[in-house]
Chain A
């Protein structure tokens, strides 16, 4: 197989990137998707609220994915489902396994759009027995919404990420009793609207600064111990409560899926878990671009689509030029209170959109992007929370000779 652009992953990022690559003039655009149905995680996100930014209406996940799937098909994108990329090299060669067998492919440019996966019980080290009945929220969602399988009757949810909140409501609607959501931090991990419409609507309590300290059960989960945490995050002795339940659902964070990027030798950021990219969303490997949740975990799919389209336009520019744009690179540095910033460096003269997340909730702050004594972008925010991504487009490029671009949070 030979492609101008090979897109790894047929979720919202991959589909948007592929359609945009065709629109920008790429001839043969290939999407490689390991599931039987393109659309990615949106196919199991049956709730609505997707597309408010992009389409001005609340679509369900399958509806949002459907729009991008149709757009990709209408533009003549070649979507290979049930096809898994087993290997990717820095020379942009891919080895795939699918219905046609084991095949090699060569691409002019590669777009990484593999999405992310969930952190599991192992990642948070809950002590106790290891009975059946412990699920990550996304797996629970897959069982309920795709496979028609109920996962339990009395459920405790650990972590308050959006998928966990959505599953609290979903499990309740399907007849389960959701006892509580426990969150170790002093604030919810998911969007405020999901706390209201998924928990408060159904009288499901949210215990902040609480965590699970023990899971018990022979074959199946029988009991879970929840402890209150002090300011330092340590369990308060005696402040424990035992919940009788048969199911634990974990919503404790997402990690970009980057085995292929690592294998190809792309530099990965310890801050985001995604590839280190420049303003053009190009990784440290020339001609390999990254976008969507494989690059950094987004809050809204609307922004995933937009970022993927940007990566696609840059990938098409790369195959036209045949080599990456040369020039010194200016590093982007997150200052105190900023957890990460994407991109990680800029080429002089560029004015990209930058995405960032703050480290903790704060109110009445101003975010400034500065370089060489100039303010490249600034905006005031009444509230900032780690659950929400902040996006700013630079008004001006970094001045010549600037050594770094700093992104900082100031009062007011």
Chain B
């Protein structure tokens, strides 16, 4: 029996979970220390396919602010966060941008969209 500690990051409680394995590389047999069922779910995912939501900003042309905040519509594989963030540095939009607007329909072939989380109105020109 192999034992390992993992900190759940689903909510601010940050439960410390103890996971028990049959051996290295196997799925956890059971977990203890989590306050809710999401902890176990997170642990299993984290061991096989760790993912995080990407939040970043995208440039806006002609807006009352130079940036709009954005997020991935679902968590991305962890190893794609840095390349995806680098890709976003080359993206720019024309104002206005509305919260909820799809900025990129498919981030690097993941099938996950990049969505605006803020609103940027057109700049009031003279």
Complexed CA–CA distance, A63 and B59 (Å): 18
Q: Is B12 an interface residue (CB 8 A)?
A: yes
Q: Is A391 an interface residue (CB 8 A)?
A: no
Query: Is there an interface contact between A147 and B12, defined as CB atoms closer than 8 Å?
Result: no
Q: Is B113 an interface residue (CB 8 A)?
A: no
Query: Is there an interface contact between A191 and B118, defined as CB atoms closer than 8 Å?
Result: no
Shortest Cβ gap from A357 to chain B (Å): 14
Q: Is B112 an interface residue (CB 8 A)?
A: no
Chain A residues near B11 (CB-CB < 8 A): 52-53, 193
- Size of chain A's interface in residues, with CB distance under 8 A? 35
Tell me which of B9, B56, B89 has the highest count of chain A C-beta atoms within 10 A of its own C-beta: B9
Query: Is there an interface contact between A60 and B57, defined as CB atoms closer than 8 Å?
Result: no
Shortest Cβ gap from A133 to chain B (Å): 22
- Of A41-49, A261-269, A344-352, which stretch is located at the interface? A41-49
Q: Is A120 an interface residue (CB 8 A)?
A: no
Chain B residues near A197 (CB-CB < 8 A): 9, 52
Q: Is B53 an interface residue (CB 8 A)?
A: yes
Q: Is B14 an interface residue (CB 8 A)?
A: yes
Shortest Cβ gap from B86 to chain A (Å): 7
Query: Is there an interface contact between A66 and B118, defined as CB atoms closer than 8 Å?
Result: yes
Interface bits A168-188 vs B (CB < 8 Å: 1, else 0):
000011110000000000000
Contact of B117 among A36, A60, A193 (CB under 8 A): A60
Query: In chain A, what residue has the closest Cβ to B70?
Result: A46
Chain B residues near A195 (CB-CB < 8 A): 7
Query: Is there an interface contact between A66 and B53, defined as CB atoms closer than 8 Å?
Result: no
Shortest Cβ gap from A106 to chain B (Å): 33
Complexed CA–CA distance, A196 and B5 (Å): 13
Complexed CA–CA distance, A37 and B63 (Å): 14
Q: Is B99 an interface residue (CB 8 A)?
A: yes
Q: What range describes how many residues of B lie at the interface? A: 20 to 34
Chain A residues near B9 (CB-CB < 8 A): 193, 196-197
Chain B residues near A172 (CB-CB < 8 A): 82
Complexed CA–CA distance, A52 and B10 (Å): 9
| Given contact pairs A173-B81, A173-B85, A47 touches B14 in the complex (Cβ within 8 A) | no
Query: Is there an interface contact between B82 and A193, defined as CB atoms closer than 8 Å?
Result: no
Q: Is A217 an interface residue (CB 8 A)?
A: no
Interface bits B30-65 vs A (CB < 8 Å: 1, else 0):
000000000000000000000011111101000011
Query: Is there an interface contact between A46 and B14, defined as CB atoms closer than 8 Å?
Result: no
In chain A, positions 191-233 with a C-beta closer than 8 Å to chain B are: 191-193, 195-197, 201
Chain B residues near A66 (CB-CB < 8 A): 99, 118-119
Contact of A47 among B16, B55, B65 (CB under 8 A): B55
Complexed CA–CA distance, A63 and B82 (Å): 23
Chain B residues near A37 (CB-CB < 8 A): 65
Query: Is there an interface contact between A46 and B66, defined as CB atoms closer than 8 Å?
Result: no
Chain A residues near B69 (CB-CB < 8 A): 46, 60-62, 145
Known: A43-B118, A53-B12, A201-B52. 7 other contacts (CB 8 A): A46-B71, A146-B65, A174-B85, A193-B12, A196-B9, A196-B14, A201-B81
Pairs across A and B, CB under 8 Å, 21 listed: A46-B55, A46-B71, A48-B55, A48-B71, A53-B11, A60-B69, A60-B71, A62-B118, A66-B119, A144-B57, A145-B67, A145-B69, A146-B65, A147-B67, A172-B82, A191-B14, A192-B7, A192-B14, A193-B14, A197-B52, A383-B16
